[in-house]
Amino acid sequence: MLKVLKFGGSSMADAIQYKKVRAIVEADPTRRVVVVSAAGKRFKEDHKITDLLYLCHAHVQYGVSFESVFGMIADRYKGIKEDLGLKIDIESHLEQIRKKLISGMSEEELASRGEYLSALLMADYLGFDFVDAAHWLKFRYDGTIDQEESYAALRREAEGRKVVIPGFYGVMPDGQIQTLTRGGSDITGALAAAALDADVYENWTDVSGILMADPRIVEDPQPIDRVTYSELRELSHAGAQVLHEGTIYPVREKKIPLNIRNTNEPDHPGTMIMESFDDSMDMEHRFITGIAGKKDHSIITLTKIGLSSAVGELRRILEVFEDHNIPVEYVPSGLDTVSLVVDSAKVSSCLYSMLGELQKKIKPNNIKVHDQIAIVAAVGRKMAFRAGVSGRIFARLGENGISIRMISQGPDEMNIIVGIDNKDYANAIRVLYNSFVK
């Protein structure tokens, strides 16, 4: 039996949190592999170490003294060492980073040092071995992860041992440090669990599992006790930030259950995520598993008479987005119209050239762009093929004065997605929560 654990930034924020982590790890001898994030916020106005590291790099880049920012980072780690009475020479690791920063260090490498330092301290505190992610998590030059190589390397490094691994980064074929996207330690944990064929991947954070809605919008939302991988993918893609979207694939592939737990409430069972559940005994009539969303999207709508009967037209439209490297998130369509929903930030630098190209290649009767759109998704496996759900969702939003700009429903009927104005975002989430959950 092997459990792989990942502790997020809030669980690594200070010595008090380290003590909770140790109690959790020591409570179960099968908890042998621990992945850690950089130190996160200790209180609301505090800084995340990763943010400070990016800030530090910006200082270097613009030729401004970085010493005071670097000092804040160093003090956090020295403080944890001191408070825990550790012997590890963290000062010399910090000094090495400082020196390399002066002689030239990539932004990626500097950003990764938060996890590196956290893992050194935690390994020392737990009495586990430190295994550097740079020794096993291997990227290809195109930025994708070479799973096979990485898994084999981690097995060589960690099999049968008790180890602490820094999250968030790996290594390019030429030896350069490469980070994952923000929040990526979740992915490191999933890869480690998959590589070592863990029995469970425990992801320890600061909430007692996935909540039915963002707790910053809905007051005290109910936790979800069971969710399928597919539902979670929908929820995290739609904006539920509790887990990085890329976490699910590696564990799902190996059928490893994922359990989200709260470091501050270790006895709470949290959320269990698996391929499927036997819902037949479930007497609960609630059919929405969760509600999530994200702001700042754009809807690009093309109208062209005869669009749906023209062969290859949709491909030609999508090719324009592909040529500009813009992922299209949803594609609701009508007979003569198709809408493409994209992240506004990703499209902002090339919007006009893309519209120009669409004009030239597709010759539509009309192109319209709607900005400041929020996406809100209601997700639930029990929603599938149930009559009237979407109607009720639209009715509740309408009754509350929220105009719907776009509707999309997956063919598996596990999600209903609406596009609304940014200004209605929080209200829409509350309305759906109050109508379907409370």
In the complex, the residues that contact ligand ADP under the rule CB under 6 A are 8-10, 37, 40, 183, 205-207, 210-211, 213-216, 240-242
Q: Which is nearer to Mg ion, 50 or 337 (CB)?
A: 50
Beta bridge partners of 220: none
Q: Which is nearer to Mg ion, 189 or 293 (CB)?
A: 189
| Number of amino acids touching ligand ASP (CB under 6 A) | 14
Q: Which is nearer to Mg ion, 5 or 60 (CB)?
A: 5
Residue 211: alpha-carbon gap to chain centroid: 15
How many whole angstroms separate alpha carbon 320 and alpha carbon 347? 12
Q: In the structure encoding, which two tokens stand for residue 60, read together?
A: 């270097």
How far, in Å, are 281, 339, 402, 405, 411 from residue 332 at the CA level? 36, 6, 19, 11, 12
Min dist. Cβ of residue 438 to ligand ADP (A): 16
Helices (H), 288-350: 313-323, 344-347
How many whole angstroms separate alpha carbon 158 and alpha carbon 337? 54
Min dist. Cβ of residue 134 to Mg ion (A): 21
| Residues contacting 387, CB < 8 A, separation 6+ | none
Q: Residue 10 touches which of ligand ADP, ligand ASP, Mg ion, none (CB < 5 to 8 A by kind)? A: ligand ADP
Q: Which is nearer to ligand ADP, 110 or 211 (CB)?
A: 211
Min dist. Cβ of residue 410 to ligand ADP (A): 19
DSSP-assigned letter for residue 328: -
How far, in Å, are 336, 339, 366 from residue 358 at the CA level? 15, 13, 10
How many whole angstroms separate alpha carbon 146 and alpha carbon 333? 36
Q: In the structure encoding, which two tokens stand for residue 72, read together?
A: 């804040």
Q: Which is nearer to Mg ion, 244 or 297 (CB)?
A: 244
Write the binding mask 42 to 81 for ligand ASP: x where contact by CB under 6 A, - elsewhere: ------x-x-------------------------------
Q: Which is nearer to ligand ASP, 247 or 298 (CB)?
A: 247
> Does 380 sit near ligand ASP (CB under 6 A)?
no
Q: Residue 241 touches which of ligand ASP, ligand ADP, Mg ion, none (CB < 5 to 8 A by kind)? A: ligand ADP
> Which residues in the 172-201 window bind ligand ASP by CB under 6 A?
182-186
Min dist. Cβ of residue 167 to ligand ADP (A): 9
Q: Which is nearer to ligand ASP, 114 or 293 (CB)?
A: 114
> Does 168 sit near ligand ASP (CB under 6 A)?
yes
Q: Residue 247 touches which of ligand ADP, Mg ion, ligand ASP, none (CB < 5 to 8 A by kind)? A: none
Q: Which is nearer to Mg ion, 232 or 340 (CB)?
A: 232
Q: Which stretch binds Mg ion (CB under 5 A): 3-11, 102-110, 222-230, 350-358?
A: 3-11
Minimal CB distance to ligand ADP: which residue?
8
Q: Which is nearer to ligand ASP, 37 or 263 (CB)?
A: 37
Min dist. Cβ of residue 325 to ligand ADP (A): 26
Confirm if 329 and 341 have CB atoms less than 8 A apart.
Answer: yes
- Strands 129-130 and 290-303, how do they pair? unpaired
> Does 166 sit near ligand ASP (CB under 6 A)?
no
> Does 183 sit near Mg ion (CB under 5 A)?
yes
Applying CB under 6 A, among 37, 298, 337, 415 the residue interacting with ligand ASP is 37
Query: Cα dihedral sign for 267, 184, 46, 223?
Result: negative
Query: Cα dihedral sign for 269, 271, 273, 279?
Result: positive
> Does 114 sit near ligand ASP (CB under 6 A)?
yes
The residue written with tokens 């069972």 in the block is 269
Task: Give the residue from 193, 328, 326, 207 showing the smallest Cα distance to 247.
Answer: 193
How many whole angstroms separate alpha carbon 244 and alpha carbon 186? 6
The residue written with tokens 């596009």 in the block is 419
How many whole angstroms separate alpha carbon 194 and alpha carbon 264? 26
**CB neighbours of residue 295 within 10 Å:** 17
Residues lying near ligand ASP in the complex (CB under 6 A): 8-9, 37-38, 48, 50, 114, 167-168, 182-186
Residues lying near Mg ion in the complex (CB under 5 A): 8, 183
